[in-house]
Structure 1
């Protein structure tokens, strides 16, 4: 089964890269936060989707300063 990754809308290139690597990638929104294996955020804001006190039970990867390949490798390591 493919691992499901939620990703912020601003990370289009990363999203395309992860899809090509075989991951099931969807856009991150308030309604699907817990229906994934991992979440990738841009790191531009200190909160997710404008909510600073949100609690997420899934691993969150900060994409700031990382290449698409770095993010992919971090997802693989996180989901081992």
Structure 2
């Protein structure tokens, strides 16, 4: 099962992904994202200048404004390609 990193404030998203059988890791620091197939973040700390080093090879999903179910749908669509 894919490993999904989820920002620690998104507990509802974590629970929904765990219910669907995903291996969920809480992202407390940048190094927690290593080895994740996909990460879900709040988007509140987005880099406005677009200059950042990525620590994962997988997708990053911004959960701002999305329900837990919508986030799960995005995770599923990005992992299945």
TM-score using structure 2 length: 0.82
Secondary structure in 2 matching 1:36 = coil
Q: CA-to-partner distance for each residue in 1:26-71, whole Å, 9 max, x for gaps?
A: 1113223221110000111114xxxx62223220000011111101
Which has the larger share of helix?
A: 2
Q: Distance in 2 between matches of 1:54 and 1:9?
A: 20
Gaps of 5+ in 1: none
Secondary structure in 2 matching 1:31 = helix
TM-score using structure 1 length: 0.83
Count of residues paired in the alignment? 75
RMSD: 1.4
Q: Which residue of 2 aligns with 1:13?
A: 12
Gaps of 5+ in 2: none
